[in-house]
Amino acid sequence: MKFPPYLMPGDKVAIVSPSGKINREIAERGAEILRQQGFIVRIGPHTFEEEGVFAGSDLVRAADMQQALDDKSVKAIFFSRGGYGSIRTHQHLNWSSFFKKPKWLIGFSDITVFHAFLSKHQIASMHGVMTAWFEKDGMLTESFTEMVELLKGKIPQYTLQPNALNKIGVASGILAGGNLSIIQSLRGTPLDISPKGKILFIEDIDEYHYHLDRMMLNLKTGGILAKISGLIVGYFTAITDRETPFGKTSAEIISEAVSAYHYPVCFGFPAGHELPNSPLILGSRILLDVSNKEVKINRV
């Protein structure tokens, strides 16, 4: 696995919008916060355009990202927001310059498309907060400060309280994953996850319980869940029922899908569409240690 160089004060970073349209004030405030951290910030020229739900057309979104990918002076690309559109943007990108000199790509949700692509090419990326999540109530979020520390080279270590649905065990593997809906939508494409030796992280928002069950069964019947080395479950936010209740919670649906396997499973990792949204270095080799007393997740 190839890791981009860690960031240093004075490095240039970019903000681009490959997916949904973004409020100008949010993204510009995000840029100012990054400047306060000592970075030089370049905002993509089309970042604030609008075309339907998107931040401009596919071509202009891709042009901004392409410019950031190709610019050798840019050390990291922060995405303004998720939404929908990354898969459309991805169709128009040329990664040849990036492969010669990788840089950090930082985001979550719809940005899982790019995380999946980089995983296929053995390049690490950052599952972390985007501009609207840099601060809350005028204060920097812990999620943002932790993310910046990791981007500067701090080794991540997490200790969590036990969960009744956890599966006890210890496993080492390469961390992969992100938003479950995106992971499932990429099945059967060149961006489909390669599960062997992976510890899978999943999270999601605004789905029905039956749809969550369908996505987990897709991963199960497709052999993904049988081949991974471990599972880390983040937030499943605003998962609802239709008129007739499904009869299981989100955690119960996921637990049932992996019940036949003997690897460790951790529920309640604080990442996804809520705060705190703890940063994860996708592509890093981690040790997942789940016991009755606690859960430890360390980079190895």
Determine whether 73 is exposed, middle or buried from the number of CB atoms within 10 Å of its CB (0-12, 13-18, 19+).
Answer: exposed
Domain end point (choices 151, 185, 203): 151
We report the CATH number of the domain holding residue 140 as 3.40.50.10740
Q: Is residue 261 part of a domain?
A: yes
223, 129: one domain: no
Residue 54 CA: distances (Å) to CA of 25, 27, 30, 39, 86: 17, 15, 19, 27, 10
Domain end point (choices 151, 186, 204): 151
We report the CATH number of the domain holding residue 183 as 3.50.30.60
Q: Is residue 98 part of a domain?
A: yes
99, 223: one domain: no
Q: Is residue 6 part of a domain?
A: no
122, 243: one domain: no
Q: Is residue 20 part of a domain?
A: yes
Residue reference for tokens 């970019």: 14
Q: Is the dihedral of CA 226, 231, 234, 240 positive or negative?
A: positive
Q: Is residue 4 part of a domain?
A: no
Residue 140 confidence (pLDDT): 98
Provide the number of structural domains found in the chain.
2
The tens-digit pLDDT sequence of the chain (300 residues) is 999 999 999 999 999 999 999 999 999 999 999 999 999 999 999 999 999 999 999 999 999 999 999 999 999 999 999 999 999 999 999 999 999 999 999 999 999 999 999 999 999 999 999 999 999 999 999 999 999 999 999 999 999 999 999 999 999 999 999 999 999 999 999 999 999 999 999 999 999 999 999 999 999 999 999 999 999 999 999 999 999 999 999 999 999 999 999 999 999 999 999 999 999 999 999 999 999 999 999 999
Q: Is residue 120 part of a domain?
A: yes
95, 62: one domain: yes
By annotation, the residues acting in catalysis are 109, 203, 273
- Which residue range is the domain that position 90 belongs to? 12-151
β strands within the chain, DSSP E: 12-16, 40-43, 74-79, 104-107, 125-127, 135-136, 139-140, 157-160, 169-179, 198-205, 230-237, 265-267, 280-282, 285-290, 295-299
Q: Is residue 163 part of a domain?
A: yes
Q: Is residue 1 part of a domain?
A: no
The DSSP secondary-structure symbol of 64 reads H
Domain end point (choices 120, 151, 182): 151
221, 117: one domain: no
Amino acid at 97: S
